[in-house]
A and B are shown apart, each in its own frame.
Chain A
Amino acid sequence: MALCLAVTLVHVLLVFLYVAPPNAISKAYSHQVNAWVRPVFEQNWRLFAPNPQSVNRQISARVKQTAPDGTAQVSGWIDLTAADDSAVKHNVFPSHTAQNMLRQAWNSYLKTHGSNNKPRSERALMIEKYLRNIAAERVAAQHGGAFDSIQLRVISRPIAAPGAAAESRPAAATPRAETRYLPWWKVASHAAN
């Protein structure tokens, strides 16, 4: 009984230290806190905090097929985000595959790669593979031809501030939209289907 009580209190204390902002205690005991909390009790409740996301990201992909004679054929950009958006639109219960899959993969890529596209850790490499697989599978489902490499383009469009947004069309090209191109990635040859 005393054991139950002790475990309960220790658990609550450690979870508190885990979710609280870094402080002297949680820094000193970070090893113990993480060892206890991770992985099963991992949590993050910064829901839309400290600030909600203020950009909409449009992720597109294009693919390349190199012929045996060395000439490369590059496809047009295929909008992957638009497919997710339309899957969410007028849906009472959108799927995680539309709302979370590509979005979270990209967020993880940002976290592990930063602003350059060099994977600096094993985790970064894994996320890169994940993002590549998502894109390749979606493109293969939409696009007819075979391809051997793929490139992603991410356009970040800031959401206009409240006052200004009222009149202008929100989806229209906002001046400060940023475009980021990722390097071409080789994919396990996707045959024409």
Chain B
Amino acid sequence: MQRTEQEPVVAPKVSERATERAAVGVPQRVLGQVHAFLVLLTERPVSLYAAAVLRIGYGLLYLVFLLREFPHRDEMWGPGSPWTPTLARQLFDQSGWASILTLSDSRVYFEICYAVALVTCALFLLGWRTRAMSVLFAVVVVSFHARALFMADGGDNLMVLMAVYLVFTACGRRWSLDARRARLQAPAGETSDLRGGDLRHHLGDARIVLTTVLHNCGMFVIAAQVCFLYGCAGLYKVQGPKWGDGTALHYVLNIDLFRPWPELSQLVAGQHLLIAVVGYLTVLVQVAFPFVLFGRIKYPVLILLLGMHVNIAVLMGLPLFSGAMIVADAAFLPDRFYRSLGRLWRRTFQRTGGVGAKAPVGTAPAAVPPQPSAE
């Protein structure tokens, strides 16, 4: 997804080829570009920071979700749910879903699963043995989602997709306990030294190429998935007369279950002009999303989307849904942005003399109070 970020790296190669082109002709040039693409695909894992943000973001969101529903855990996923284990198993037979939660109807088994899920989310978010944890995390998210299929909204749906896609990415290379361990073990170089016999060396190389290709493909799928999400959300809205006449948000703001602050919703719904403008802007931004990603204009669009999701979180009482969308958007920010964020973080916490923790989700550094120095 961060193709644009990688272009400077590849660019010299491409321009070299371009000068060759005059001599060797078009087929050679195409070959050159294919070669450059293959080098990128197999040797340069793109957007490692963005992958880390996705890992931290979704790990944290799912952890918060599980903790939020702690009082309702039996009702949602447990043996005491109105969607009984029998019904769930029947649905799995029909639909192909599966869940570790329906393997036993015992309450104790459920509590153990729930505890394991909490620990998995926490370790995944911290990036401890990330690849193995990412598989476990995907199993947890799919299991809990499948068990409560009729309670899910778009945010849950997105988290399932991302949890599965993240398995293929190298999301533990940055801002993780794994990265910290690698740094401590091999202070000299960034990559760990795998020298051994010749065969081992080759296997190591093959493994690096494989993980890089998988990572790049995974990140591409994640980017495409988010584009489909917005494109679809936008284009289906275009077909609706209420989005067409600019009154759609009026109805959205009047749905009782998504109106935690009725007075506030009413106040906003009263602003007809504002409602129409924001409604149009929503559709426009969503439809435009896949097309703006390749230029600088993506930044204002991402800021608009952030504003939109913060509003949804507050006005509609959907913090989890909004959080899932914001994390997805954050995947489109360049590594250069995250690196400078990291530097900023290190500077601030070196000044305050904080503990050696790693940076939290990169989206809101200002919102994290410098706790150690607060007293």
- A92 lies within 8 A of B317 (CB): yes
Task: List which A158-181 residues lie within 8 A (CB) of chain B.
Answer: 159, 161-162, 165-166, 170
Q: Which of B44-52, B113-121, B214-222, B296-304 contacts A (4 or more CB under 8 A)?
A: B214-222
- A46 lies within 8 A of B255 (CB): no
- A43 lies within 8 A of B236 (CB): no
Cross-chain pair count, CB within 8 angstroms: 191
A143 near B: Cβ within 8 Å? no
**What is the chain B residue whose CB lies nearest that of A161?**
B247
- B12 smallest CB distance to A (angstroms): 24
Q: Which of B124-132, B171-179, B225-233, B352-360 contacts A (4 or more CB under 8 A)?
A: B225-233
Q: B305-341, CB under 8 A of A: which get 1 and which 0?
A: 0000000000001111000000000000000000000
Task: List which A82-134 residues lie within 8 A (CB) of chain B.
Answer: 84-85, 88-101, 103-105, 108, 122-123, 126-127, 129-130, 133-134
Which listed residue, B68, B69, B95, B248, touches A52 by the CB 8 Å rule? B248
Task: List which B69-90 residues lie within 8 A (CB) of chain A.
Answer: 69, 71-72, 75-76, 82-84, 87, 90
A45 and B154 in contact (CB under 8 A), knowing A12-B224, A38-B95, A90-B260?
A: yes
* Chain B residues within 8 Å of A97, by CB: 69, 72, 75-76, 151
* Chain B residues within 8 Å of A94, by CB: 260, 317
Q: Which of B13-21, B157-165, B195-203, B361-369 contacts A (4 or more CB under 8 A)?
A: B157-165
A1 near B: Cβ within 8 Å? yes
Q: Which of B3-11, B23-31, B184-192, B237-245 contacts A (4 or more CB under 8 A)?
A: B237-245
Number of B interface residues in the complex (CB < 8 A): 75
A53 near B: Cβ within 8 Å? yes
A53 and B150 in contact (CB under 8 A), knowing A4-B213, A96-B76?
A: no
The dominant DSSP class at the B interface is helix
A4 to B259, CA, bound (A): 45
* Chain A residues within 8 Å of B75, by CB: 97, 101
Task: List which A1-45 residues lie within 8 A (CB) of chain B.
Answer: 1, 4-5, 7-8, 11-12, 15-16, 19-20, 38-45
- B69 lies within 8 A of A95 (CB): yes
* Chain A residues within 8 Å of B152, by CB: 96, 100, 104
B374 near A: Cβ within 8 Å? no
A134 to B228, CA, bound (A): 34
Q: A139-165, CB under 8 A of B: which get 1 and which 0?
A: 000000000000000000001011001
How big is the A interface, by class? 35 or more
- A181 smallest CB distance to B (angstroms): 21
A50 near B: Cβ within 8 Å? yes
- B224 lies within 8 A of A40 (CB): no
- A56 lies within 8 A of B91 (CB): no
A19 and B232 in contact (CB under 8 A), knowing A91-B317, A108-B150?
A: yes
B275 near A: Cβ within 8 Å? yes
Most chain B beta-carbon contacts within 10 A, residue among A19, A49, A101: A49
- A155 smallest CB distance to B (angstroms): 12
A192 near B: Cβ within 8 Å? no
- A124 smallest CB distance to B (angstroms): 12
- B250 lies within 8 A of A42 (CB): no
Q: Which residues of chain A have a CB within 8 Å of any CB of chain B?
A: 1, 4-5, 7-8, 11-12, 15-16, 19-20, 38-54, 56, 81, 84-85, 88-101, 103-105, 108, 122-123, 126-127, 129-130, 133-134, 137, 159, 161-162, 165-166, 170
> Told that A92-B319, A129-B87 touch, could you supply 18 new A-B pairs with CB distance under 8 A?
A5-B41, A8-B221, A15-B228, A39-B97, A40-B164, A41-B164, A43-B158, A44-B157, A47-B154, A51-B243, A52-B252, A88-B260, A90-B260, A93-B317, A159-B251, A161-B247, A162-B247, A162-B275
